[in-house]
């Protein structure tokens, strides 16, 4: 996995987690859902890069 893609995936997961927890803390269901989606998107990006690395070698 390239370092920049790994960093993007981790950043996306972290931002999503923060947004999800902030939304949960204030009772904003929309922000909670957006945060969950962003966190999942980051996880999928990381999985995609790991799969790509597996097929390279």
What pLDDT does 3 receive? 79
Distance CA 17, CA 32 (A): 9
- The 10s digit of each residue's pLDDT in 4-41 is 888 999 999 999 999 999 999 999 999 999 999 999 99
d(CA 3, CA 54) in angstroms, rounded, equals 15
* 35: its two tokens: 């945060």
Q: Which residues are within 8 A (CB) of 4 and not within 5 positions of it... i.e. 6 or more apart? A: none
- Model confidence over 12-22: pLDDT tens digits? 999 999 999 99
SS3 38: helix
């Amino acid at each position: 996995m390239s370092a920049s893609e790994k960093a993007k995936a981790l950043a996306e997961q972290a931002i999503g987690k923060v947004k999800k927890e902030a939304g949960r803390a204030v009772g904003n269901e929309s922000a909670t859902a957006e945060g969950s989606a962003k966190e999942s998107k980051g996880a999928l990006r990381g999985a995609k890069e790991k799969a790509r690395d597996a097929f390279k070698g």
